[in-house]
A = this chain, B = another copy of it.
Amino acid sequence: MKITDLHAQNDFKPFGPSKLLVHESEFMKVINFNFKAGQGLPIHSHNLEGELVICVLEGEGFFLSDAGQTPCKTGDTLVCPIAVPHGVTATSDMRVLVTIAPPI
Contact = CB atoms under 8 A, between A and B. Distances in A.
A99 B52 CA distance: 11
Main SS class of interface, A: strand
Contacts of A22: 77, 79
Contacts of A65: 1
B6 A78 contact: no
Interface in A20-75: 22-23, 25, 27-28, 30, 32, 49-51, 53, 55, 57-58, 63, 65, 70, 72, 74-75
A12 to B, nearest CB: 13
How many copies make up the complex? 2
B78 A95 contact: no
A79 B7 contact: no
Contacts of A55: 55, 57, 97
Interface centre among A1, A5, A22, A70, by most B CB within 10 Å? A1
Given A28-B101, A99-B99, A101-B101, A3 B76 contact: yes
